[in-house]
Structure 1
Amino acid sequence: MKIAFVGKGGSGKTTLSSLFIRHLAAAGSSVVAVDADINQHLGAALGLDEEQAAALPALGAHLPLIKEYLRGSNPRIASADSMIKTTPPGTGSRLLRVTEDNPVYEACARPVPLDGRPVRLMATGPFTESDLGVACYHSKVGAVELCLNHLVDGPDEYVVVDMTAGSDSFASGMFTRFDVTFLVAEPTRKGVSVYRQYKEYARDFGIVLKVVGNKVQGPDDVAFLRDEVGEDLLVTVGQSDWVRAMEKGRPPAFGQLEADNRQALQVLREAADGSYALRDWERYTAQMVHFHLRNAQSWGNAKTGIDLAAQVDPGFVLREEDGAAAGAAGALSPCPQPLRSAERPAPQLA
């Protein structure tokens, strides 16, 4: 299942997404983690040191390889150059699976050892000097959207994406790629402002939006969030001595995370599992096509010089079983040559 973490800058979005990833890994689940934030902090939150985090390959730098691999033998796509971020899969396209080995993961993902099962980590990549003044955030996440469009996931397989802060995610169709979106909100008026934007934008697309209250200190904070977001409030999280210990460079085993915080993470998992069980694959595919046609008309046709509507395979519906053959190519075992750190820096709740 595909899961997004969003929220206002400083809300603790990256911290909670990293804790959720650790929770899944500790349970032995297969996880692909994606840092799609303009500020790249997920690697550090998962325990990488500065050098290791900086060495993560940028998805955007490998876009030609990604396009060529995903194009496969799809007759509707004449060349990789004609693919844009919203190009949907069709007959002959190669699909990605969470647990397989493939050239995309080999070039763009790095294994990160955690308590339990290792996870694959992918990152959009930071802004470079050549990007300043001429590129926007969305030029970086196009590779993420293309991969999500071609990724077939199954039960107990998780793709967790740490999204950019605020409501910028709605500038592309990527916000429709998730079974559930967890919006991290502090118990303040500013903290719930992003929720209102998301709720309004997501209304017409059937987005499952659940609020995770963070930095909650007591019943008054819970009552405030309940008044502001109503039934969308899923669970609340407070301060953590476990995180504080990590911040001091004394990383305890993840199993020592406070029981109430472990329970909160389990609530998130159950919500994600429940949303995946309700996924409508036909609607999921139709949303891909919808945004592809919008992007084609808006800028894609002019950029490529062709009618990108012809890339749509009208008889194709992405389904879980479509990835079975690809998934059989090789399961993710204990991640050879993992990234390691003697002292893993902590995620921070603040």
Structure 2
Amino acid sequence: MKIAFVGKGGSGKTTLSALFIRHLAAAGRPVIAVDADINQHLGPALGLTDDQAAELPSLGAHLPEIKEYLRGGNPRIASAAEMIKTTPPGRGSRLLRIVEENPVYAACARPVALDEGSVRLLVTGAFTDEDLGVACYHSKVGAVELLLNHLVDGQHEYVVTDMTAGSDSFASGLFTRFDLTFLVAEPTRKGVSVYRQYKEYARDFGVALRVVGNKVQSEDDLAYLRREVGDDLLAAFGQSDWVRRLEQGAGPALDSLEPENRAVLELLREELDLAFQLRDPQRYTAQAVDFHLRNAESWGNAKAGVDLATQVDPSFVLDQTALDLATVRTDTAGARV
């Protein structure tokens, strides 16, 4: 299952992402955590020190090698240099699983030990001085889009992505790569306005969107969210002394989280089980192809110097069958990223 947390800056989406990751880990579920926010705070929210977080390898720094690995023996892709962030997989491509060892994870993922278990953490990497004035942050999150386009995941396996704030997610097709998107909204006009904007942008793409209220202090706050958000409101996370201690640098155990707030995390997990029943691999693959063709025509063909539409394998669907039939999976021990 692929999950995104989005919301206004300061809404608490990173905190709720981290809490949900810990909740899943406590249940013994395999989890890959992805920090795709321009402000890289997911690692510290999971308990890393600032120094440890700064030492995490970035996906962006390994993008050429990631492309080479995922290309595999796909005959439609002559070289990794011809791949862009939206390049879809086809027969011969290497596909990823959440529970496996591969060179991409070896190079870019790092285990984070929690009281409740362990998760793998991937980070896009911070915006650097070298990027100023010459690059946009979406060039970094392109690595996440590429990985999710090549990932075959199961019901009780999770990729949880902390997305960049506001509606910036719509600058790429990444917003369509999730089974469920949780929008974290404070009970304020600004919090609700981000929800409305996100809902409007996502409307034509079948994005499954549920709202999680945060910093809800009273029944009036809850009533406000219900009135403004309607049936999209899934749950409301209340004021939390536990979260305040966490933000002050303490490391409280998850089982000391307020029961009513722990129940919210479980409700999110239950909602994912429902979303799993609605998965449509053909639609997921078709959306990847659609965004690839858009990017190819807009800028990709000029950059690569070839017609990237020829990379599309019209008979390929990203599902379990594709994983079972993948032809290039025996040489991973020799591959290096």
TM-score (norm 1): 0.91
CA deviations 1:283-330 (Å, max 9, x no partner) are: 01000000000000000001111000000000000103433588x99x
Tell me the CA shift for residue 274 of structure 1.
Answer: 1.2
Partner of 1:305: 305
Structure 1 residues 253 and 321: alpha-carbon distance in aligned structure 2, compared to 1, 3 A threshold: farther
Q: Does 1:123 align with 2:123?
A: yes
Q: In the aligned structure 2, how far is the partner of 1:287 from the partner of 1:145? A: 12
Partner of 1:292: 292
Letter in 1 for 2:319: R
Partner of 2:58: 58
Structure 1 residues 115 and 322: alpha-carbon distance in aligned structure 2, compared to 1, 3 A threshold: farther
Choose between structure 1 and 2 for higher RCO, CA contacts under 8 A separated by at least 6 residues.
1
Unaligned 5+ segments in structure 2 are 331-337
Q: In the aligned structure 1, how far is the partner of 2:22 from the partner of 2:116? A: 8
Judge conservation of contact 1:30–1:117 (CA < 8 Å) in 2: no
Judge conservation of contact 1:5–1:181 (CA < 8 Å) in 2: yes
Secondary structure in 1 aligned to 2:215? coil
Letter in 2 for 1:51: D
Partner of 1:172: 172
Tell me the CA shift for residue 247 of structure 1.
Answer: 3.6
Tell me the CA shift for residue 277 of structure 1.
Answer: 1.9
Partner of 1:237: 237
Letter in 1 for 2:245: A
Secondary structure in 1 aligned to 2:131? coil
Letter in 2 for 1:72: G
Secondary structure in 2 aligned to 1:99? coil
Judge conservation of contact 1:38–1:164 (CA < 8 Å) in 2: yes
Tell me the CA shift for residue 117 of structure 1.
Answer: 2.6
Secondary structure in 2 aligned to 1:35? strand
Greater alpha carbon shift after TM alignment, 159-168 vs 272-281: 272-281
Tell me the CA shift for residue 249 of structure 1.
Answer: 4.1
Partner of 1:155: 155
Unaligned 5+ segments in structure 1 are 330-350
Tell me the CA shift for residue 172 of structure 1.
Answer: 0.5
Letter in 1 for 2:219: P
Greater alpha carbon shift after TM alignment, 244-253 vs 78-87: 244-253
Q: In the aligned structure 1, how far is the partner of 2:115 from the partner of 2:123? A: 21
Moved over 3 A (4+): 247-250, 321-326
1:221-300 to structure 2, matched below 5 A, reads 221-300=221-300
Q: Does 1:320 align with 2:320?
A: yes
Tell me the CA shift for residue 238 of structure 1.
Answer: 1.0
Letter in 2 for 1:200: E
Tell me the CA shift for residue 134 of structure 1.
Answer: 1.0
Partner of 1:335: none
Aligned residues: 328
Secondary structure in 2 aligned to 1:33? strand
